[in-house]
Amino acid sequence: MGEATVGSCVVFDKGDMQNSEYRRYNVTGITPGDDYAAMRDVLTRRYKKVAAGEGKRPDLIFIDGGKGQLGVAIDVMQEVGLEDILLVGIAKGEERRPGLETMIFSDTGELLNLEKDNQGLHLLQKIRDEAHRFAITGHRTKRAKARITSSLEDIEGVGAKRRKALLTRFGGLDGVKGASIDELAKVDGISPALAEKIYEQFH
């Protein structure tokens, strides 16, 4: 989404989603919105560890995206030494409507379209949608946290300890924003002058 980029990996095994094996990845150091760079970063971090013997080696990896994203994934898997694992890209159809997805196979380049009522397609959609949900939940949390931190960090004299004291006392940033100068000044480490500065920041 261009702000606080988050990648996700979900795992399906033994006939169900394996929540304990889900992982989120905070992506930094890339141009916001660069899907390919984010994909490369996340896949490299995850599968370097798998190649080194950490975590389970998957039988199959689904990539949320078309030929471009799949191409990045193929490159990464070759770089980390896991090129023998089959990758399948899930490209969205016209107008990104469910049921029009195209599968792209890394080993042959074959394209496959399944019927809308195909149970295999429903499973792929379930896995992909779960990856989206997991990433979006993490993205919203990260974005909200970044905004809370930055708004208090903008105030000179409010360091990490005072930020924590304020957020704890008032139950979050909205509580800090709604507090009066007198209420703010009652927090440990907040002088009347600093309380006034904090109040002015939000009003």
Domain range summary for the chain, segments of one domain joined by +: 6-148, 155-198
Give me the torsion for CA of 163, 166, 168, 172, rounded to 10°: -90
Cβ proximity of 24 and 8 under 8 Å: yes
What is the predicted pLDDT for the residue at 26? 85
Q: Strand 86-91 to strand 102-105: parallel, antiparallel, or no bridges (unpaired)?
A: antiparallel
Spatial distance between the Cα atoms of 38 and 22, rounded to a whole number of angstroms: 17
Helix (H) or strand (E) holding 102: strand 102-105
* Stated pTM of the model: 0.68
Three-state DSSP at 87 gives strand
Question: Are the CB atoms for 166 and 158 separated by under 8 Å?
Answer: yes
How far is the C-alpha of 36 from the C-alpha of 70, rounded, in Å? 9
Low-confidence ranges of the chain (pLDDT < 50): 1
* CATH number of this structure's domain 6-148: 3.30.420.340
Task: Please state which CATH number belongs to domain 155-198.
Answer: 1.10.150.20
Instruction: Tell me how far apart the alpha carbons of residues 203 and 198 are, in angstroms, rounded to a whole number.
Output: 9
CA distance 131 to 63: 10
| pLDDT recorded at residue 146 | 61
